[in-house]
Structure 1
């Protein structure tokens, strides 16, 4: 590998115009693709196969009108309660917003609140009207009963009279009187009976009409009672929800879109906010869905981090040319890696964190990897090596270590596909590709650019001093003596003289920092995590202040109703389900929202007591799901949860479950890789143990600052809460790769010194001395870059930037430069023990290219086989 890279470095140096042209074409092509094909990024995280996603898909199929995204705007009067003029103006602005392309519906808070407030009066009036109608109906019943009794009595009399007349007719017929005579004799009586019967029929018809009217009145009263009962149940369901605050000073309007909020055009977001803010005397606070800007990934704080890195480079390398090269290489790698990520946003759904993660890592590793090579090249030039040979040898030695270090980061990031979370896999693969590009830039473009720079990479004064030193007879032996003396001074010497103290102090410090990690709670951020001065935070704060924190993140419940229900039965089922949902602890309100045309799918809006990222809301989600079996048994309705609040809970739980196996994979991988590199059993165990200590300390510090609120004002943490769900798994993958970088660079020097015959304890000291300066600079640079993201405009990235900055700081200075040399000093020769059978099986990777250096005639190694630090 070292020989191949040596040849690659020499080729890039000799064909520098070709290499430069190829990279310029690549950068231009990627930039053009990003500009032409980029799509919309999202912060809406979903996991296929979860209940949340199934319910979301069901809504999209059965109730498309309820599947679009939503946002809210809180209006706050700057003086007292809203005036009538302000109410009318706001209603007009909301109607204007409703007419915008992409907006499905807008809820007018004043109209809705008036309906809610008037519901009680309407119910009371309805009860009075029903009571009056019932009284009237009751009062008419005796009259109807009397009429019926009179009709029955008259009918009985007529029937008796008819019976008597018929008997008389029979008697006359028995006397032999002809029928004509009988008819003539009874005609008068029969006519009288017929007239009475006609009068009875008229009375019966009048009674039937009255009875029918009374029955219809009773039916109307029954229907009115049923309608009133439903209205009462609806009012009870919404009694704890307000759209205008009790003091009349604030109102909240809900906006529903035809599509997802993450796909909203920037013009629509700005138009909505502009229109909402045009009412004099009223301040409009748009929710996070409307204000989040995920189109930009680089801000002022990130630029400050890069500026600090540039200062460190200038201080270490001495010239603007030398300091600018690592920055230039990092920017080239980021342009290709992050640009390629942007180009894929048109076909791959990815979160705003994805390119930001690539930017962080691309800048950090891009600067560090180039620094290692540039430092090696400068050192060799100062010793008198030919520039062409020096570039090739730097790529074959330090470049070899860079390739391996980059490989560890790439593997750790690519392993993020293992948990099976699509958005996390995209993050990992995108960041891994950016790191891979940074490695390619370091071993191809950098040697080409070094060919253009030549000796200008070294200041004239330093160059003159080097030439004078090289011309002095016996300077190599003098340098070796000075190098040995220097290794007996400084931090590395102190650590190896006091190994037990260094070991105990390091473990104690990391252990104390790790204590808060036991309280780690995962969630996705809400508006409360935004900066205090932001509109999103003001909307979140005002919503909680005037309407309750639960209104900031309602839970959507989807119910599947039995088939064959009519409208009234379906509504009754809705209210039955809503009542049982309200019985769950921590639920303020549960309101039936929408019913599909076939009356098979119902949507309920559940308002919890606290915000979406709170522990109590997480418990509410679990309790609602547990209530599902009871609801199904009692109502026949099957429920499921969806919406962003429920999705956040599902994602957090899934990520928490994926954390242990992923950590196992990464730890196992680190052991195998380091076993191959250092051909030792104890060194990989030490490196892995140190990584776990770093990880625990980083987790603990993140919890203390972002969950507990310690040092909140310093890090602009105004609303401490749960930690970003996917932060731990990202932190594991990234810190693993970076920790192994520093482990390789510092321990390989110790190994080479030991292999060259030095005593084990001395090899630790000299190896530390050779690597300490460049690792210190590299760590400071990486910490500076990551720290720049602590105050990023994307608040989701802030704790990740903090964790990476602190993790690198602790790993580089406490673990790799204190704990590791202390333990190596205590282990002595045992640190390099490896069973013979395993030694024969393992390939010799020659990460530092020591064999190449020995076989290169122009190379002039020091006693330890490592280049001397710059500026010695």
Structure 2
């Protein structure tokens, strides 16, 4: 039908590209900041409690650090005047709930020990997108009041840092595209041997991304989406979009070479490779959908955005591509690069081999895929056992995996928030901006003498922990007055003008909770601070209910959620993919083999990623400093994405094997023939994927490095060890049993469409 209505289809796609191009240009402006909250976790519940009991702290605590090259900031009248004016101007912003400057009577730790820096604390309200915008405004206020002086001021904290990280991630994406796309085009040119044919997959992939941009732009009106999710989805969309189009265009060229008329060639290509694209695409979507099992916002937006991009790529492959191919016809092979005559003759002979029937005995003398598969099938045990052992060895580092969350601060050294964070870390301590937040609530419902004493004992014990630099608590104010740690003294202080601002902030609205902050000695995303969160949560002081929150607690909860749900995600992906493949292949053995091999290959790639990034084996090669852990969300995200992508090649190769097997009934002939005809596509597709994903290794942001490395390695392992060795070896081992399926089940499957 698309062949008949190709002009209309192309016209519709022209409108989509025109409208979607505008969406693509403006969608980044509508993106918010990363949201690492795990729903119903202790950190999320603490955040809600803080919002209701301690509104002065807002939803986020940032800081303005101001430095003087001359020092003496405690007595610098000019600096004091400008700092106070900055605090006043910042406090007038509707999103700011509280500002505590360094020159108030009760603040003693907001001037650095070397007397060169001051710290002004700023509490922000609003959602993530509002805080993102206000962060830029507040930095502008600082720049205005310090302009024309030699003072330097920087706003830093969660939103300012995430804003800066977003800009770095955008540059990393641009770098990946600048490197990956030319390599992809070169691979396409070598594979399809035509300039026109090579441009079609790029056009299809870009069209799919443009289409997805329109949907994503609409989605931003009801859902917070961040740049990281869009970067991952865009790179994924480029990879699968080019690969899917490559499968179809390559098959179209093959059908034309057999002498089929253009309409028949398009129809056959879509019935075979087009069906493969749909099968592979839906498996990728199933795998991505499994992330929704996780309870965090990141695990919702990443599969949603990625699914939109993959689905858009599939739509482009089965609508735009056939319309283009039907319109171009034999011109798809136009503008072939001129090669020296000997090379041209060799390529012509190879093309003839790719479409000629191959016997099992002749396979050793044909293309490399047919030769390798035939050799493996002659000695399947000897070939497959070492391959399996190699994958198991690669997967071994998974036994020592540690999950954390690196904020990517090392990539922000040239940004104002990054400079501010570094300055605060040096002058006031690594955890000064993002302390561990503790809401200690009296079980009795009121902060009576016994509850206040319990708060004091808990605060003292936390203060004695070597991992804590300092604590802030209401008991510190009570200790400075004659009344001591009593309810009566607390009431008296609350009525005094000099103390009421602080007692109001440190005692909850209900009068039953006390706020305690613990400034860690290590960075907020370090393993030491995450362990501190665990140890605080394990404490059980009498008379008190503890609620532990803050950024470090969020990261710990994300790591815990990933560890708890990874097995469930794996099980869901494997089971759903198995069911889908049973329907697609009409076999029990083939889907079982495919899922097991994919799990092993995926585990191998994640294992090597652990060794390179967590163990630090690749620090010098890839220019990073190991955080001693893998990003908390990475294993589950990698598994979902990799499992789906690995199935692309499985579906392509096994579909061709089944197609040949249905024609000949001879497995020994079907496997080499299918490997010979599809091997070129798999090699090219893997090279394209590796180029697109691998270019992220050059990113400045560590999580993008880890993701790009894991994806690129998995594709290479899958296209070599798994597809060239394990697939033909397993096919030979099971023989005709590959196609076994119980009669009762076969009768209940949807009717099969004809191949050919």
What TM-score bracket applies, with the shorter chain setting the length? 0.7 to 0.9
Query: Which consecutive residues of structure 2, in runs of 5 or more, have no partner in the other structure?
Result: 474-504
**1:248 and 2:115 matched:** yes
State the partner residue of 2:160.
Answer: 290
Matches within 5 A, 1:467-486: 480=356, 485=362
Per the alignment, do residues 583 and 461 of structure 1 end up closer, same or farther by CA in structure 2, a change over 3 Å counting?
Answer: closer
**1:314 and 2:307 matched:** no
CA contact (8 A) 2:566 2:636 kept: yes
**1:271 and 2:262 matched:** no
**1:642 and 2:635 matched:** no
CA contact (8 A) 2:57 2:124 kept: no
Per the alignment, do residues 386 and 706 of structure 1 end up closer, same or farther by CA in structure 2, a change over 3 Å counting?
Answer: same
Once the two structures are TM-superposed, the CA of residue 823 in structure 1 deviates from its matched residue by 2.8
State the partner residue of 1:591.
Answer: 472
CA contact (8 A) 2:292 2:299 kept: yes
Distance 1:20 1:510 in 2: 45
Once the two structures are TM-superposed, the CA of residue 316 in structure 1 deviates from its matched residue by 1.6
Give the counterpart of 1:52 among 43, 47, 55.
Answer: 43
State the partner residue of 1:327.
Answer: 202
Cα shift readout 1:647-675 (whole Å, capped 9, x = no counterpart): 22112212211111110111122322333
Per the alignment, do residues 116 and 348 of structure 1 end up closer, same or farther by CA in structure 2, a change over 3 Å counting?
Answer: closer
Once the two structures are TM-superposed, the CA of residue 334 in structure 1 deviates from its matched residue by 0.8
Give the counterpart of 2:529 among 617, 629, 639.
Answer: 617
Give the counterpart of 1:549 among 430, 441, 444.
Answer: 430
State the partner residue of 2:479.
Answer: none
Per the alignment, do residues 715 and 832 of structure 1 end up closer, same or farther by CA in structure 2, a change over 3 Å counting?
Answer: same
Cα shift readout 1:397-446 (whole Å, capped 9, x = no counterpart): 21111111111111222232233444413321332222112111111111
Distance 1:707 1:478 in 2: 44
Per the alignment, do residues 426 and 390 of structure 1 end up closer, same or farther by CA in structure 2, a change over 3 Å counting?
Answer: same
Once the two structures are TM-superposed, the CA of residue 94 in structure 1 deviates from its matched residue by 3.9
Once the two structures are TM-superposed, the CA of residue 724 in structure 1 deviates from its matched residue by 2.0
State the partner residue of 1:705.
Answer: 612
Matches within 5 A, 1:22-33: 22-28=12-18
Cα shift readout 1:441-500 (whole Å, capped 9, x = no counterpart): 1111111222333332103669999xx99xx9xx99996367985664424423542544
CA contact (8 A) 1:595 1:601 kept: yes
Give the counterpart of 1:766 among 673, 682, 693.
Answer: 673
Matches within 5 A, 1:631-710: 633=542, 636-710=543-617
For the residue of structure 2 that corresponds to 1:774, the secondary structure is: helix
Once the two structures are TM-superposed, the CA of residue 546 in structure 1 deviates from its matched residue by 3.6
Distance 2:621 2:81 in 1: 42
State the partner residue of 1:160.
Answer: none
Distance 1:386 1:100 in 2: 73
CA contact (8 A) 2:33 2:162 kept: no
For the residue of structure 2 that corresponds to 1:756, the secondary structure is: helix
Once the two structures are TM-superposed, the CA of residue 645 in structure 1 deviates from its matched residue by 1.6
TM-score by length of 2: 0.83
Per the alignment, do residues 100 and 391 of structure 1 end up closer, same or farther by CA in structure 2, a change over 3 Å counting?
Answer: farther
For the residue of structure 1 that corresponds to 2:506, the secondary structure is: strand
Cα shift readout 1:9-51 (whole Å, capped 9, x = no counterpart): xx22222221123233344555667759974422122223222
Give the counterpart of 2:4 among 6, 14, 21.
Answer: 14
Matches within 5 A, 1:365-380: 365-380=240-255
Matches within 5 A, 1:802-817: 802-817=709-724
Per the alignment, do residues 600 and 799 of structure 1 end up closer, same or farther by CA in structure 2, a change over 3 Å counting?
Answer: same
Matches within 5 A, 1:497-646: 497-498=375-376, 499-528=380-409, 530=411, 533-551=414-432, 553-561=434-442, 562-563=444-445, 574-583=455-464, 586-592=467-473, 594-627=506-539, 629-630=540-541, 633=542, 636-646=543-553
**1:493 and 2:371 matched:** yes
CA contact (8 A) 1:60 1:67 kept: yes
Per the alignment, do residues 255 and 777 of structure 1 end up closer, same or farther by CA in structure 2, a change over 3 Å counting?
Answer: same
Per the alignment, do residues 282 and 367 of structure 1 end up closer, same or farther by CA in structure 2, a change over 3 Å counting?
Answer: same
Cα shift readout 1:283-317 (whole Å, capped 9, x = no counterpart): 75845531433377442223321222122112222
**1:801 and 2:708 matched:** yes
Per the alignment, do residues 733 and 57 of structure 1 end up closer, same or farther by CA in structure 2, a change over 3 Å counting?
Answer: same
State the partner residue of 2:176.
Answer: 301
Distance 2:248 2:642 in 1: 22
Cα shift readout 1:702-728 (whole Å, capped 9, x = no counterpart): 222222222123323234243222222
Once the two structures are TM-superposed, the CA of residue 52 in structure 1 deviates from its matched residue by 1.9
Distance 2:305 2:39 in 1: 20
Give the counterpart of 1:454 among 329, 333, 345.
Answer: 329
Per the alignment, do residues 500 and 272 of structure 1 end up closer, same or farther by CA in structure 2, a change over 3 Å counting?
Answer: farther
Distance 1:478 1:535 in 2: 58
**1:280 and 2:272 matched:** no
**1:257 and 2:124 matched:** yes
CA contact (8 A) 2:68 2:116 kept: yes
Once the two structures are TM-superposed, the CA of residue 281 in structure 1 deviates from its matched residue by 6.2
For the residue of structure 2 that corresponds to 1:553, the secondary structure is: coil
Give the counterpart of 1:819 among 703, 721, 726.
Answer: 726
Per the alignment, do residues 752 and 450 of structure 1 end up closer, same or farther by CA in structure 2, a change over 3 Å counting?
Answer: closer
CA contact (8 A) 1:690 1:811 kept: no
Distance 1:366 1:537 in 2: 36
Distance 2:375 2:201 in 1: 35
Distance 2:353 2:391 in 1: 41
State the partner residue of 1:95.
Answer: 87
Matches within 5 A, 1:49-198: 49-75=40-66, 85=76, 87-88=79-80, 91=83, 94-95=86-87, 98-99=90-91, 101=93, 102-109=95-102, 111=103
Comparing 757-766 with 551-560, greater Cα deviation is found at 757-766
Per the alignment, do residues 690 and 852 of structure 1 end up closer, same or farther by CA in structure 2, a change over 3 Å counting?
Answer: closer
Distance 1:399 1:307 in 2: 25
Once the two structures are TM-superposed, the CA of residue 541 in structure 1 deviates from its matched residue by 4.3
Q: CA RMSD in A?
A: 3.6
Query: Which consecutive residues of structure 1, in runs of 5 or more, have no partner in the other structure?
Result: 1-10, 118-241, 854-872
CA contact (8 A) 1:574 1:602 kept: yes
Distance 2:234 2:420 in 1: 30
Per the alignment, do residues 283 and 419 of structure 1 end up closer, same or farther by CA in structure 2, a change over 3 Å counting?
Answer: closer
Distance 1:745 1:31 in 2: 31
TM-score by length of 1: 0.73
Once the two structures are TM-superposed, the CA of residue 773 in structure 1 deviates from its matched residue by 0.2
CA contact (8 A) 2:406 2:631 kept: yes
For the residue of structure 1 that corresponds to 2:356, the secondary structure is: helix
**1:750 and 2:657 matched:** yes
State the partner residue of 2:495.
Answer: none
Once the two structures are TM-superposed, the CA of residue 73 in structure 1 deviates from its matched residue by 4.3
Cα shift readout 1:759-788 (whole Å, capped 9, x = no counterpart): 433432222111100111111111212223
Matches within 5 A, 1:725-736: 725-736=632-643
Distance 1:482 1:777 in 2: 22
Per the alignment, do residues 844 and 809 of structure 1 end up closer, same or farther by CA in structure 2, a change over 3 Å counting?
Answer: farther
CA contact (8 A) 1:487 1:769 kept: no
Once the two structures are TM-superposed, the CA of residue 835 in structure 1 deviates from its matched residue by 4.3
CA contact (8 A) 2:86 2:142 kept: no
For the residue of structure 1 that corresponds to 2:548, the secondary structure is: strand
Per the alignment, do residues 768 and 255 of structure 1 end up closer, same or farther by CA in structure 2, a change over 3 Å counting?
Answer: same
Per the alignment, do residues 811 and 83 of structure 1 end up closer, same or farther by CA in structure 2, a change over 3 Å counting?
Answer: same
Give the counterpart of 1:42 among 22, 30, 33.
Answer: 33
